Structure 1
Amino acid sequence: MAQNKYSHLSAAGTDQCSPPLGISTMKLFTGLILCSLVLGVHSQWMSFLGEAYEGAKDMWRAYKDMKDANYKGADKYFHARGNYDAAQRGPGGAWAAKVISDARENIQRFTDPLFKGTTSGQGQEDSRADQAANEWGRSGKDPNHFRPAGLPDKY
């Protein structure tokens, strides 16, 4: 009868074909570690997605408030507030705020000249000011820095 490479580790009277307990235990622990890593990453990913979703809702709420207020000179405040609220959710919220803000500015770069008749210089200057307000809010600074005098308290 041929001996396997684990035969010297097996106790007398046990099946010679099964690996010793040490190998199975090592596979079990390796599997458990891999599963816990996957679940940990999965948990972090789900947290990030939840933060991004809630951050997108914060951005939408700031946009709606800006449209409802219809207050001259308040757009920078609402930009900063939306980004601030979203970033307070965590990395996912900050990511959503940046993506939404960048997309909004890129879209406005094309739509403003078509629909508002602004020249490219005016549009670029306004876009830079909007992006500065966006970054201000995302960095955790107080959005009230951009709040215009007379804006109703509900905003």
Structure 2
Amino acid sequence: MKLCICFVLLSVVLYASADNPFSSGFKFVRDAAGGARDMWRAYRDMREANYIGADKYFHARGNYDAARRGPGGAWIAKVISDAREGWQSGVSGRGAEDTRLDQEANAWGRSGGDPNRYRPKGLPSKY
């Protein structure tokens, strides 16, 4: 996990310093770092809640929170989501359909869609 975080942070720095339309310097990096924290918080909450049927909600929520920070947050949310789904699809055994549905929830949240669309009944209000 530490290696993954280091890779993500290095990617943020390299991307922010590249010649691209989103590289407004420090703000992009700050938004990306905050977005990574949002994604981590959603993942941590998902693990803590351990609630059957809630994973899509947490996918959407993490992406939603990260993307609200701006282009850096949206970018890091996509990077993390794609990396996680790429890794998970190879080891989880849940199949392509689960990966597709996870990515649908990720994109929904990143585009500003309300994560509660995926909220299962009975999930504690804490989340």
Q: Same fold (TM over 0.5)?
A: yes
In structure 2, list runs of 5 or more residues that go unmatched.
1-20
Matches within 5 A, 1:2-151: 44-112=24-92, 118=93, 122-151=94-123
Partner of 1:154: 126
Runs of 4+ in 1 over 4 A off after TM superposition: none
What amino acid is aligned across from residue 91 of structure 2 in structure 1?
Answer: T
| Identity percentage of aligned residues | 67
Structure label with greater radius of gyration: 1
TM-score, normalised via structure 2 length: 0.81
In structure 1, list runs of 5 or more residues that go unmatched.
1-40, 113-117
Greater relative contact order (Cα < 8 A, sep 6+): 2
TM-score, normalised via structure 1 length: 0.66
The count of residues paired between Structure 1 and Structure 2 equals 106
- Aligned Cα RMSD in Å? 1.4
Give the SS at the match of 2:95: helix
Give the SS at the match of 1:44: coil
